[in-house]
Structure 1
Amino acid sequence: MNASRLSTTAVASDRVALSSEAMGRSEEMGRMEQRVTRVLFCGPLFPASHNYTREYLSNYPFIQVDVVPIEDVPNVIGNYHICVVKNLQMNSSVVSRAKQMKLIMQFGVGLEGVDVDAATKHGIKVARIPGESTGNAASCAEMAVYLMLGLLRKQWEMQNSIKLKKLGEPVGETLFGKTVFIIGFGSIGLELAKCLKPFGVRILSTKRCWTSYLQDPCQSDGLSVQNHAFDDLVDERGSHDDIYKFASLADIIVCCLSFNRETAGIINESFFSSMKKGAYLVNIARGGLLKYDAVVHNLESGHLGGLGIDVAWTEPFDPNDPILKFPNVIITPHVAGVTEHSYRSMAKVVGDVALQLHEGGPLTGIEFVN
C-alpha cells in the first residue's frame, strides 16, 4: 500500500474517531437535557429573587425553577434538588421529606431558619451567598445610611411640613461629628464603615474576633488585606463585653449582627439603659435582635430618640402594629439588600449553582456551613 493510500486511510480513521467522540458528547448532552434539575423557592415574598433567577436560566430548559407557597412546601419538597429557603422555617420535619435534596441555600446570608444539624444528618449541604461578593453587603450598608439620615433630618416632620405648607422646618441634625456604634463588624459592618468615614464621624465597633479574617484560610486575600485597614475605618474596637460601654458613647447605634441563640434579644432593657438619652437606633440585620417591649417602652419614655428598622419581629410587618404610632420611627419592608445589582448578582449565583449541580461538578460561589 502506497503512502497516499495510508494517508487517506489515516484521515478517514481520524474522522470516524472524531465523529464517534462528537456523537458521544452529543448523546451525553442529550441525556443531561433530558434530566431536569429542580429548584424550589419557598414562598412568593422577595419576588425579584425568583424572577431574576428564572430570567438568568431562561436558556436552560433542563433547570426548572418553581415558587411554592410556604404552607405547601412540606408536601412537595421531595421533588426538588435545590431549595432556596427565603423566610421559611426549615425544621427537621421538613428536611426529612427532602428525599432528593442536594443543597439548601439562602438568597443572601441568613440561615437562622434552617435546621443545619438535620440537613447534615440527611446528607444535605447548606450554604449562604457571601454578601461581599454580590454587592448585598454594600446595599445593606447604604440602607443603614439612608435610615440614619432619615432619623437625623426628621423625615417624619418634613412630611408634615409639606402637608402644612411650612418652609424651613424642621431643624435637623448632621451626621458630621456624630459617634456611631456598629454592633457586629462583618461584611455589612465593614461596608458601612467605608460609607460613613467621609461624613466625618467617629466609629466604634464590636466584633467577636477581630483577627478572624486573617486566621481563616477560607477568606479571600482581598478581605484579609481589608483587615489591615480596620485601624483607618474604626476609631475604637471592642468585643461583646464592650457593648454597654460603646452604647453609652454613641449618638447612633447600628445593629449588623448575625441572628443566633447568643444574639437573640441582645438589644434589651439593659442595653437601652446604657444608651445616651435621645440616641438613635438602626437595625438592618434581623428583627429578633431587638426586644420589642423594650423598644416600645423607650420610645414612649423618650429615652430612644428614634428608630430606623428594615427588619421586624414578625414579617411581613403588621401595618396596625402600635409601634407605628410613634412619629420618630422609620420602617422599610426588608429591602436593604433588595437592589438591582445585588439581586441580579445573587440570582446568577443560584443559577450557576443549579447548572453546576446538573452537570455533576463542584459547587462554587457559595459558602457552606456544614
Structure 2
Amino acid sequence: MSKPIVLVTAAAASEETQQLLGGAGIELVFMQGTVDEVSLLKAFSCYRIAAVILRGPAPFTRAVFDEAKALKIISKYGAGIDSVDLQSATAHGIAVMVTMGANAGAVAEHALALMLALARDLPRFDRELRKGVWKDPHYVVRDFSARTVGIVGYGQIGQRTAQLASACGAKVVVHSRTRSALPPEMDWEPSLDRLLGRVDILSLHCPLTDQTRGMIGERQFRLMKPGALLINTARGKLVDEPALIAALKRGHLAGAGLDTFATEPPDPAGPLLLLPNVLCTPHVAAYTTDAGALMGTICAHNIISYLRGEIYDRRNLMNCAGRFTTGGT
C-alpha cells in the first residue's frame, strides 16, 4: 500500500512537522519557486495528494479543488486562511484546519516591538546617527505609557497584544465584532469610528474577510488623531494602501509599522517602502523558534488525526467537512 502524500506549499517544513509525519508513514512533497494556481494544478495532476500543509498565501481556488481528487484536508501553518475558497473546500468535502493560537505570543511581541520602535522614534534616531547627526536636546518623544493603544480584533493575538501593551503602561481600548470580558484596566469600544478618535496607536488583529477588506481607508485615517501610529501584523489588505501613503505623506499619521502588505512581497521601489516614517518587516511576526515548533507540531497532528478519521483539536477546524463540524473542544 502506497504512503499518503502531503503537499507542502513551500520548499521546507519544520523538523517537528517532518518527524511527526514521517513517523506516521506519510510522504512529503515540497513545492519550489512561485506557488500559484498553475503550479498547484500541476502538483495535483502529478501526485495523489491526501493532505496539504499550507504555508503562505497559496491560492486554493475552486479550480484547484476540482483537480484535487484525493485531497481530504488542508492544514494551515498559522491561522490566516484568506487564500482558501472555504465554501468550495466544504462543497468538496475537504477539511480546512489551522494551528489556533500557536503563533499568538510571537505576533503579539512583534506588534509591541513595532509600537515601541515608532513611539520612541527609533528609526529616525538610527538614520540620523548613521549620518553623523547627534542628539537634539530640544527634541523629545512622548512616553509609551502615556499613549492609548487601540486593539481591533480580540482573538488570541489581539488579547496577547493588549496584555503586553497594558503591561508596558499604555491605556488599552478594544474593538471587535463580538464583545468579550476585559481586564478592569482595559476599555471596550463598540464603535470603530469612536475608537479611531480615541487612540494614539491603532493595532490591527482581525482576519481578512469580505467585511474587513479595506476597513481602514481614507475616511478612517481622517478620524484618527493627528500624529497617530498604525500597526498591522494581521493582513495587508485590511488597509487601503494608497490612503495610508497619503495620510503618512501629509503628516496626519506620524508613522506605520507594517509586517503585512496588500501585495507580498511589496515593491521595494514603491511609494510605501520609500517613506521614512514606515517601519516594515517581511511578514515574519510569527517566525520565532518556539512558535515555529508549535505550529509545525499542531499542523502535523491535524493531518495525522484527520487521515485516521479523528479531529486533533476541534477548535482548529474552520469548516464543516464530512461528519465533522466546527467549534467546540
| TM-score, reference length from structure 1 | 0.79
For the pair 1:333 / 2:282, whether they are aligned, the reply is yes
Deviation at 1:58, TM superposition (A): 7.3
Q: What letter matches 1:187 in structure 2?
A: Q
Contact 2:228 2:254 in 1 (8 A): yes
Which has the higher Rg, Structure 1 or Structure 2? 1
Q: What letter matches 2:125 in structure 1?
A: M
The 5-angstrom pairing of residues 1-370 of structure 1 reads 34-44=1-11, 47=12, 50-57=13-20, 60=23, 62-69=25-32, 70-71=35-36, 72-77=39-44, 79-86=48-55, 87-131=57-101, 134=102, 136-168=103-135, 171-211=140-180, 227=181, 230-234=182-186, 236-239=187-190, 242-358=191-307, 360-365=308-313, 367-370=316-319
Contact 1:140 1:337 in 2 (8 A): yes
Post-superposition Cα deviations, 1:103-126, rounded to whole Å, max 9, x if no partner, equal 012111111111111111111111
Q: Structure 2: which 5+ runs fail to align?
A: 320-329
Quote the Cα distance in structure 1 between the aligned partners of 2:157 and 2:304.
29
Cα pair distance change 1:357/1:184, threshold 3 Å: closer
Quote the Cα distance in structure 1 between the aligned partners of 2:300 and 2:74.
14
Post-superposition Cα deviations, 1:122-181, rounded to whole Å, max 9, x if no partner, equal 1111111111xx2x1111110011000111121221222331334435633321111111
Deviation at 1:59, TM superposition (A): 5.3
Cα pair distance change 1:194/1:326, threshold 3 Å: same
| Count of matched residue positions in the alignment of Structure 1 and Structure 2 | 309
Post-superposition Cα deviations, 1:169-213, rounded to whole Å, max 9, x if no partner, equal 5633321111111111111110011111122211111111115xx
Cα pair distance change 1:363/1:37, threshold 3 Å: farther
Deviates more, 1:84-93 or 1:52-61: 52-61
Post-superposition Cα deviations, 1:74-96, rounded to whole Å, max 9, x if no partner, equal 11225211112331111100011
Instruction: Kindly indicate which of the two structures has a greater share of residues assigned to helix.
Output: 1
Contact 1:194 1:233 in 2 (8 A): no
Quote the Cα distance in structure 1 between the aligned partners of 2:30 and 2:58.
12
Contact 2:152 2:205 in 1 (8 A): yes
Q: What letter matches 1:285 in structure 2?
A: A
Quote the Cα distance in structure 2 between the aligned partners of 1:35 and 1:327.
55
Deviation at 1:102, TM superposition (A): 0.8
Determine what percentage of the aligned residue pairs are the same residue. Answer: 28
Cα pair distance change 1:261/1:167, threshold 3 Å: same
Quote the Cα distance in structure 2 between the aligned partners of 1:336 and 1:123.
32
Give the secondary structure class of the aligned counterpart of 1:81.
strand
Cα pair distance change 1:123/1:55, threshold 3 Å: closer
Deviation at 1:54, TM superposition (A): 4.8
Quote the Cα distance in structure 1 between the aligned partners of 2:158 and 2:100.
14
Contact 2:20 2:300 in 1 (8 A): yes
Deviates more, 1:337-346 or 1:61-70: 61-70
Give the secondary structure class of the aligned counterpart of 1:231.
coil
Q: What letter matches 1:101 in structure 2?
A: L
Quote the Cα distance in structure 2 between the aligned partners of 1:127 and 1:167.
52
